[in-house]
Every structure is written in structure tokens, then in C-alpha cells.
Amino acid sequence: MTISGSSTRRALLGVSCSLAALCAGGSAWAQSETATGPATLQEIVVTGARRAQTVLVEERQATGVVDAVAVGDVSLNPQTTIADLAKRLPGVSVSQDQGRNQSATGEAQYVAIRGFDTSFNAYTLDGLRLPQTAGGRSISLNLFSPFAIQTIGIEKTPDATLDADAIAGIVNLVTPTAFDFGDQMLRLRAVGQMAELAEDRGQDSLGGAVGVDMARRFADGRLGVYASAYYEQKDSAAESVAVQNDYKTSRANVGSTRENENALSADGLQWNFFNSTVERYGATASLDYRTQPLDLFARVNYATYTNTNTMNQTGLRSERTSGQTNPNPGGANYNAAGDYTPYGINPANYFRVEDVEQELLSVQTGGKLRFGDFTASLEAAYADGRLDSPNTIEAAWRGVAYNGATGNTGASTEGLKLDLSDPRWPMPVLSAGATAYVASQDRPSQIYVQQGYGYLSEVKKTVKGDLTWAGSGVLASASVGGLYETADQDGRSLAPDDTRYRFRTSLQAGTVDGPSIGATPGRLITDFMDHGTVRPVKLVDRRFVENERDLYGSTVVVSQEKLNQGLSDSREDRTAAFAAATLKLAGGALEITPGVRYEDNHFEARFFVKDADGARFATADRDYDHVDPSVIAAWRPSDALVVRAAARSSYSRPAGSQLAGPTTVSRDPVTNAVISISQPNPDLKPVEGWSYDLGLEWYAVGSNLQLAVYHKDLDNIVVPTALRTGTSKTSDGVILIKPFNGLGGSATGIEMGGRYVLPVDGWMDGLSLGGNLTYQQTEAEYRLSSTDIRKSDLPQAPELMYNLEAGYEHGSLRASLWYNYTGRRLDTVQDSQPDIYIQPSKELNLGVALTLAPGLEVGAAVRNLTDEPTRWSTVGAGERYVSPDRKGGYLETGRIFQVSVNATF
């Protein structure tokens, strides 16, 4: 379902009648508001064609374009996350934070509009700008539950009254109020879930959620109170396969891997198993007072999300250990004929915990006063958000490699070769001796245990207001307003490598012998990804590793300098002012909203640096402002037709963590050599953009059709990169991860969507078909060096996205069959290696609901009915080479089965 809307968002995105109630059946209340009068109420019976027609009326009356989806229908939707439901909307795709094991939950986190980087969005809760707690401008939506949020609105053409630092658009989450229901309402919603993959592997697989909310109106309907509370807990599992390191060229002396992306070889293999326990809970309350001259409101929202997770990795590494020699000429990885021929096969195990805790508290209060032809509004808000990674625990097991020689010493005769003919399941090619060696659980031994942490919080305070004059001629209204916003961030982190406790093994010195993987408590998984693995996947007991951390990790002394390196604090101030007007021409058929917005930004940060001038705390600050004009127009030549157009300027602010903060270093666990370095870039400029939209909409009873074209021009785009240092620019160099400004980019696309209710009688009455499609061409130009300038797709921008949906509503039965497709998208730009891509994602969902009695409905639903992978990342645009594990590899989370009950009193 989509709703197109104007810039006066609260009434529209609240959608008059509760969309949660619209989906659930029963009755709701529609609310409309004018610039000169109070809200008027009319009862709407929420059934079939009347429900669709009410939404279409809201669409037609708007000036700009906003797409919206209701999220509270637990009877039909097997998703209990906001982001997963948002991808039903045209041009919306989703992603996860691969760095914190979040993709393994099977839940989406981030929302991209038309495929633009998620940092190009502004994120609001009931119009309040949300705090940043992920280190960037993107907001992780897994914190929010459909039990607390009523509607997700995607504003694609924001006018001058809304935030200008939103090149892609604005994602607005709307909570219910008492005025979205009748005089009183009490509702109970509950779901139970089972994760099929976890159940098949003998892991914890069950979960559920319960939510209760109520609404009541007093004082002749002028005073309304709404309150809700919810709790959710669920377990799941995931499996993935990935390669160990960067790919190598299959032939010697042929240039970089990027120049030979159809002839590459992998030098290691990983099988990863994930366990996740997700917990959400929170509460929402609102108080509203509405009269002819005065509206007052207060809202409080509290939400918590935790993910307690583990990853167990079993791998085969292409490497030799002490005492083993390489027979290749010069000790290279290529034989005399120039073929890639590595020696040494080392079985390895790795354990990782990346627990995540998120929390948000927001308070909003404000009001609107009408006097004569004027309306004045004022609002103040406070929001406190945090992202805490309290447990980043790692442990590794490594031992002597198998090299085919007697006693595994001396000249090597065997090495690890991988069969890459099946891109979803690379397989090792091993001799009988190598197979027996790597299958044994007597090896390897544990070499270290370590723990780090990360914490980031932001407190955001906002005051905003506006004054609007309403007229009756060509100048229908004029408004001025402004905003002042402060954001204070506090961050601290400690890299796990800085706390490493080393056990005594044949590879390294230590005071305590590390246990073998076989002697480590846990269990084996043999039916991995429905394949047999040559080396069983070991699921290490988390409590055992935590005990090691407590026992041995406490003996590691971390210097004050290391602790200081992870400290940072910053402050950001944003001041905005706008002026806008509404012009009505051609007898009111043509509505034009011109406006201009000015935003001024100041950023300052304090962090620890170590360079040629010594180790110390340093400060950095940036100032930049932006003027953004816009024109939004809607022409309605008939009751059935609407033509929309928009042209607007916008920008995107660099995140504080991109501008200033500590440099982090990742090292090899055995050699201690530097593998990668991540650092900010204080010279980043804001991304600037111009957007142009043109749309045509047609409405009829039971049906609608929408068609739109758009174009965006971008300057100073920020490109995520992975650069290798060193004069040779080979894949063996140190990887430098650093954001920088590209030269420019553009996107041109077309969107279409619609819904059609079949005009049939009998048992087929209530059958509808719908869907939407977005097709676009994007281009980005960026500079990796003074001599290396490239053109590519915009990161995270798929060429094709579409949804198909069949709905049924007849008598007491409702059903929905929904298919989502998101095309291939660029993930990371690399220099000497081919770029990382995410292959197309597909998902088919089925939901059926049955009304047992008035106000009582039960449902059953299945997510990912066809058992498609959750993420499939590759090196290069094709499917041939699966990516390394930190980029996702080929990952499956399986089907989710759900039952539900929805009772309204």
C-alpha cells in the first residue's frame, strides 16, 4: 500500500484512520485538518473498497509525494522489524551492518530510498530527528517494533519546511494517538515464531512477541490518551560460506586481480555458523488536546534492542608454518609454469561474539495556535540514544599446517586448492592424507582469547516553530519558520587486538597451554548448509570462552595510551530557517509550493591522536552552510488525474565519525602484522545534490496507477573504499579503509505501481493484485589517486527493484502473497581487487488470517517461503567469486514460521 502526501505530515502520515486498524479490520476514525480549523472526525467502516478508496483520497489531495506502509498487521506479516516492512514500498531497499553479525539475524536494519546510500536519508520519529548511534548518518531501524510504530512514511520530495540534508528523502516513523481510534480501544496482539534452520540444526529456534495498547478520549472528544507496551524475544541461526582472503590471479605476472577478474584463485575457505537471540521491548505514550483555536500534544517513546550473538568459524587456510619450505621458484605462490600453486593446508577455528545493545528515549511536546488567518506552532524535543557493544569477544585455534611431507616438515608437496565451479559452495580439493589431517579435532590448539568494546551515545535537543498565514486567493498560504538543534556525542572503544592473551602452542610462546579444539566444550554440526564439510563445524560453548576471558584476559595490561585512543566526544549544532508559500492557480486545480531553506552547521570534536608530534588529545572543527531552494507542484485537471512535479536542492552532512576520531588497526593473530587500517577523513565535504521528479497518477474506484520519473545530480559523493598500500599495489598490501569525496554522480530512474481490485462476485470477491517497480541507471565518478579516476554505479543503488502482491479479503478470511526483488548493488569500491557487490535478493512471504469473532483474529504466516539466501556478496559483479566473510559471503537464515492472535475490545 502506498500513500502520496503533502508536506503537512502529521495528519497525513498518521493517516487519519489508523492504518494498523485498517489492516486488522473493524472501525477506525478518519481525521482531517485545515490551516484555519480544528480536526473534524468521521467514522469509517474499514472494509474492502471503502478502505482503499479512503487512502486514495488522501493520495490525490496531496502536493508532494510520500509513500507509506502500515506495520502493525501481525496477522499477515511474518516480519517483526520496521525495515523489512518498508521494502514493500516502491524504490525502497534494505541492508544490514555486516561488521556486527547483524545480517545473521535475518533482519534488515537500514532503509535506502531509490538505492541511495542510507546516509542520504533524514530519519524522524513523529517529525523528531533521531539521534545517531551507529557512527554515521544512517539510523538502524531494528530498534523499533511494529507494536509501537503505526506507519512508515517515505518522503521523496520534501519541501522547504522539512530538513534539507536529505538527498534521498526522509524516513518518518509515526506512532499512534488516541485520535486514530474511536472513543476508546483496548488491543492485544501476540505472535509466536519458529526459525526453521535453527530447528533443523538442533539450536534454540523459538520466539514470540506480545503487545498491548489502549486509547481513550475524554472531555467531549477533545482530550485523548494513548499508551502501549511490547516485548519480543526470538532465537535464530544462520550459516554462511566465504573465502578467507583476497583472491589471487591464477597466473603469474599478469597484473592485478582487478585486471584479471575472470581468472582468479582463492587461498582459503571458511564455514561460519551464527546463533542470535534478539530482544526488543519498549513503551509509547501520547497525550493530545484539540480544540478550535488550540492543539497541544506530548509524546514519550522508549525502545530497547539487544542481540546476543555468537559466530563459530571452521576454516582451511592456505599457509605454511615454521619448518616448512616452498618448492616454487623464489618461494612464490606460482610454480615454474606460472600457475597459482600454494603450499600448506592449515585447519583453523575462530570464535566471535559481537553483542549489540541499542536504546532510545525521546520526549516531544508542543502545540499549535490559530488566530484569525494565522497559525503558529512551536515544538521542543529531547532524544537520547546509545549503541553499546559491551562484548566483542574473540578466540582462535591455529596449529601446524599439513604440507604433504613426512612429519609436516621440510619441502612441501601439497597445498590448498579450491574448486570454484559452484559459486554458492566452493569446495576444497584434498588428497586422502590432507582430508584425514584437517578432519581431526585433535588439532589445532587455541592461540588466544581477547575482548574489546565499543560505545557511542548521542543526546539531541531540538526547538522548532513556524508561523503560517492562510489566504483565499492565488496566494493560498505563506509560512516562515526555523529550527535549532544540538547533538552531543560521547564515544569510547577498545580494539580486541589490544587485549590479546596468548596461549602456549607450537607456534608461539606463552605460559598456559591452549586446549585443542576437540578438548574445547561444544558440539559439532555435520549437516552444514545441507552439504557435508570435510572438517566438521565446531560450535564452541560461549560460557567456556567467557570464563577464559575472565581468567586470563584480566592479566593483560592495557596501556593508558591504548585506552585514550578509543575516546572521543563531539558536538554538532544545526540552525535552519525557511520561507515557503502555496499558490493556487487555474481555479485551484494547480497547486505550487515554492520555498527556500537555509541550514548552518558547526561540528567540533576532541579525540586522541598519535603522530610525528607525539601522542595527545587533539581537537577538530568544521563549519559549513547550505541554501536549498525547492518548488513542488500538483495539477489536478480532473477527479481521476493528478500530475506532480518537483525540483529541489539538498545536501548530506559528513558524519562525525567520518570527520574525526581514532584510527583502528587490525593485525594477524600469529605474525602480528598489520592487515588493515581504518581512519576518518577531516577533509570531507558535504555531498550536494539537485533532484527532479515528475509523476502521473490515475485514480478510480478500487484501482489506481502511479508513474514517475526522476533524476538526481550529485557532487562530492562519499565513496566507501578499500585501498592497498605499497608500491606494488598487490592484494597482499595493507588495506586502508577511509572515506573520501568522489567527483560526482547521477541517477535517472522510473517508478511505477498500482493496485487493482478484480470486479468479480462470489467467493472471488475481494481479490486484488498490486505491485510496484523501480528501474534506474546510476553513475559515480571517483578518484582513487591522481592517476586513477573511475566510473561506476553509485554504491548501494540497485538497477531494478520490484514488489508483487496478491491480496484476498472476503468475509472472515484475509490473505496476502508478497514477493520482493532487489537487484544487484555495489557494496565497496576497491583498488587492485575487483569491487564487492551484493547479488540480487529475493523473498516470498505468505500470510493468512481468519476472524473468529468480532474483534478476534488469528493468523499464520511464513517468511522466505522459497528459502532464498539473506545475503550473497561477491568479488566482482558476477556470481563467480564469493566474497570474504566480513563482506557476508553466501549467507542463509532460512524460513520463519509464525502464528498470531489479534484481539480488539
- pLDDT tens digits for 415-443? 999 999 999 999 999 999 999 999 999 99
Residues 360/131, Cβ–Cβ less than 8 Å: yes
What percent of the chain lies above the pLDDT cut of 70?
87
pLDDT per residue as tens digits for the range 129-159: 999 876 677 888 888 999 999 888 889 999 9
In 3D space, the residue among 764, 774, 813 whose CA is nearest the CA of residue 797 turns out to be 774
Amino acid letter, 867: D
* Dihedral angle over CA of 545, 547, 553, 554, nearest 10: 170
Separation of alpha carbons 239 and 311, rounded Å: 9
656 has pLDDT over 80 = no
Cell 561444544 sits on residue: 522
Q: What is the pLDDT of residue 159?
A: 94
**The predicted structure's pLDDT at residue 7:** 31
What average pLDDT does this structure show over 648-669? 73
Mean pLDDT over all residues of the chain? 86
Concatenating the DSSP letter of every residue in 181-207 gives: SSSEEEEEEEEEEEEHHHHHTTS--EE
Q: What is the pLDDT of residue 52?
A: 38
Judged against a pLDDT cut of 90, whether residue 260 lies above it is answered with yes
270 is written with which cell numbers? 571458511
Strand partners for 453: 494
**Average confidence (pLDDT) over 617-625:** 86
- Of 266, 291, 298, give the one whose Cα is nearest residue 425: 266
* Span 763-822, pLDDT tens digits: 888 899 999 999 999 998 877 666 777 888 888 889 999 999 999 999 999 999 999 999
Return the H-helix or E-strand segment holding 712: strand 703-715
| pLDDT reported for residue 28 | 29
For residue 379, the number of C-alpha atoms closer than 13 Å in the C-beta half-sphere is: 23
Q: Which amino acid is at 277?
A: T
> Mean pLDDT throughout 243-255?
93
DSSP 175: -
Over residues 813-836, the mean pLDDT reads 91
Confidence of residue 728 (pLDDT cuts 50, 70, 90): very low
Contact present, 150 and 179 (Cβ < 8 Å): no
List the beta strands (DSSP E) in 196-244. 206-218, 223-243
The more confidently predicted of residues 268 and 702 is 268
Q: What is the pLDDT of residues 305-315, one digit of tens each?
A: 999 999 999 99
C-alpha to C-alpha distance for 516 and 537, rounded to whole angstroms: 14
DSSP 836-894: EEE--EEEEEEEEEEEEETTEEEEEEEESTT---SEEEEESSSSSSBPBGGGT-EEE--
> CA–CA separation, 50 vs 52, rounded Å?
6
pLDDT number for residue 330: 87
155-201 pLDDT, tens digit per residue, is 999 999 999 999 999 999 999 999 989 889 999 999 999 999 999 99
pLDDT at 120: 86
- Residue 231: half-sphere exposure toward Cβ, Cα within 13 Å: 0
Nearest residue to 863 (alpha-carbon basis) of 236, 154, 90, 276: 236
- Asked if 565 contacts 662 with a C-beta cutoff of 8 angstroms, the reply is yes
Average pLDDT for residues 33-48, to the nearest whole number? 36
pLDDT of residue 38 exceeding 80:
no
- Are 463 and 430 within 8 A, CB to CB? no
DSSP label at residue 561: H
Q: How many CB atoms lie within 10 A of CB 328?
A: 19
- Asked if the model's pLDDT at residue 49 lies above 80, the reply is no
Q: In this structure, what are the phi and psi dihedrals at residue 55, rounded to the nearest 5 degrees?
A: -65, -40
Residue 605 has pLDDT above 80, yes or no: yes
Lookup: cell for 685: 565535504
Task: Quick: pLDDT tens for 58-100.
Answer: 666 767 777 877 888 888 988 878 888 888 888 888 888 777 7
pLDDT band for position 9 (50/70/90)?
Answer: very low
Q: What angle do CA 230, 118, 688 make, to 5 degrees?
A: 140
Distance set, CA 512 to CA 395, 508, 555, 695 (Å): 15, 11, 12, 70
The predicted structure's pLDDT at residue 30? 32
* Cα-Cα end-to-end distance for the chain: 26
The string of pLDDT tens digits covering residues 276-327 is 999 999 999 999 999 999 999 999 999 999 999 999 999 999 999 999 999 9
Quickly tell me which residue has 487512502 as its cell.
Answer: 55
> Over the Cα atoms of the chain, what is R_g?
29
Nearest by Cα to 875 from 884, 883, 867: 883
Q: Distance between CA atoms of 156 and 168, rounded to whole angstroms?
A: 7
pLDDT at residue number 736:
62
**Confidence class of residue 358 from pLDDT cuts 50, 70 and 90?**
very high
Q: Does 18 have pLDDT greater than 50?
A: no
pLDDT at position 660 is: 65
pLDDT value at position 17?
31
The predicted model gives 740-747 an average pLDDT of 81
Residues 64 and 61: their CA atoms lie apart, in Å, by 10
